């Protein structure tokens, strides 16, 4: 594989690097021969050990630590060129009952990443965000919305020496703890609980998330939020029907903090979003970013009142499309 120019001889650190995205993205990066080093920063030594067994590459390094510990981050970030910040607490129902822990990791941890990256002189820092950060109704979404805003504001603190941006997307097919993983479990053959038969969600494959991240890393000027333009959506009941066809669906009612539908882009954000073809780029609305917007002048402004919602998407995931996406996960 030919290494993209912006990754040649670069050291890339992934926070939360033993998670579904982080571990797969590390393997993806190491397929580029002239990437200098990939560092996994996470707090679970067992998962680090397991990952080291799965990926045997001398360029893969490990740093045990927690994003809540700014001093440890500063040590880990020494000599790092690019950071992909994927560390987060993510389980919606759990975080509704453990809100202080969510704030410590998702908000204060993100602030620590920003401060440590500036102190270490890191070139680029990219936040992995979620559709739940858009018009949030649960604590997880609220903390990720704050993290997005912190990353935009981080560009003021760095005075342009470190660039901060974010990517935003929906559920990754087959990620650890996802509904797809649960439905493929043989124990789902009997009965599957669905909170609302009308519920829809966005779905993305891991390779597509990697493409989005690479696009953001190659394009980011600082302060942008990048998202896929054509991300497929599907009703949860259709997902169950395809992946667990013999299971009986039981409607159990929505859980605390759960949305009926998700959004990736609001009409308010659309007013400052450029259509760049395959991706949409939300530009920061604060003053001081004017010079950075020039890169996106070739894009097309979005129509008035444009929004991107899982129940209104014109890109519905079919059975064939779902199975094709799942094959890319192998």
Q: What is the pLDDT of residues 248-289, one digit of tens each?
A: 888 888 888 889 999 999 999 999 999 999 999 999 987 777
Which are the contacts of 226, defined by CB distance < 8 A and separation ≥ 6? Answer: 165, 166, 167, 168, 212, 215, 216, 219, 220, 279, 280, 281, 282
| Secondary structure of residue 325 in the 3-state scheme | helix
As a whole number of angstroms, the distance between CA 64 and CA 69 comes to 11
As a whole number of angstroms, the distance between CA 245 and CA 242 comes to 6
State both tokens at 213. Answer: 């991240």
- More confidently predicted of 122 and 91: 122
Binned at pLDDT 50, 70 and 90, residue 113 comes out as very high
As a whole number of angstroms, the distance between CA 73 and CA 204 comes to 30
CA atoms within 13 A on the CB side of 91: 9
- Quote the pTM value: 0.94
Binned at pLDDT 50, 70 and 90, residue 325 comes out as confident
Let me know: does 33 contact 3? Beta carbons within 8 Å.
yes
- Which residue among the candidates 132, 235, 259, 292 is catalytic per the annotation? 132
Domains of the chain: 5-170+205-230+263-310 (3.40.50.720)
User: Residues, the chain, total?
Assistant: 330
132 is catalytic: yes
Torsion of CA 238, 244, 245, 250, to 10 degrees: -70
Sequence-ordered alpha helix ranges (H) in the chain? 20-30, 45-54, 70-77, 92-97, 99-102, 109-120, 139-158, 179-183, 206-219, 236-243, 267-270, 319-328
Tens digits of residue pLDDT in 128-169: 999 999 999 999 999 999 999 999 999 999 988 999 999 999
């Amino acid at each position: 594989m030919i290494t993209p120019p912006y990754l040649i001889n670069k050291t890339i650190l992934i926070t939360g690097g033993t998670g579904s995205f982080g571990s797969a993205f590390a393997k993806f990066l190491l397929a580029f021969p002239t990437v200098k080093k990939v560092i996994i920063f996470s707090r679970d030594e067992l998962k680090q050990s397991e990952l080291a067994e799965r990926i045997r590459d001398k360029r893969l390094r490990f740093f045990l630590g927690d994003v809540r510990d700014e001093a440890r981050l500063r040590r880990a970030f020494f000599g790092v060129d690019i950071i992909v910040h994927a560390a987060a607490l993510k389980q919606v129902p759990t975080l509704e009952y453990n809100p202080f822990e969510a704030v410590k990791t998702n908000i204060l941890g993100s602030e620590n990443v920003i401060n440590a990256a500036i102190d270490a002189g890191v070139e680029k820092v990219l936040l992995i965000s979620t559709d739940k950060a858009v018009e949030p109704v649960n604590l997880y979404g609220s903390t990720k919305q704050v993290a997005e805003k912190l990353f935009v504001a981080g560009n003021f603190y760095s005075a342009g020496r470190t660039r901060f941006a974010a990517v935003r997307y929906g559920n990754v097919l087959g990620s650890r703890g996802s509904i797809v993983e649960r439905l493929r479990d043989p124990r789902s053959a009997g009965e599957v609980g669905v909170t609302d038969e009308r519920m829809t969600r966005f779905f993305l494959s891991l390779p597509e998330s990697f493409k989005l991240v690479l696009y953001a890393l190659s394009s980011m000027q600082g302060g942008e939020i990048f998202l896929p333009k054509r991300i497929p959506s599907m009703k949860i009941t259709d997902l169950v029907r395809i992946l667990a066809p013999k299971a009986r669906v039981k409607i159990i009612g929505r859980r605390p903090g759960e949305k009926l539908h998700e959004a990736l882009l609001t009409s308010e954000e659309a007013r400052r979003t450029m259509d760049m073809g395959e991706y949409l780029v939300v530009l920061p609305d604060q003053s001081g970013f004017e010079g950075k917007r020039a890169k996106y002048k070739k894009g097309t402004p979005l129509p008035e009142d444009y929004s991107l919602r899982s129940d209104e998407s014109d890109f519905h995931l079919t059975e064939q499309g779902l199975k094709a996406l799942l094959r890319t996960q192998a």
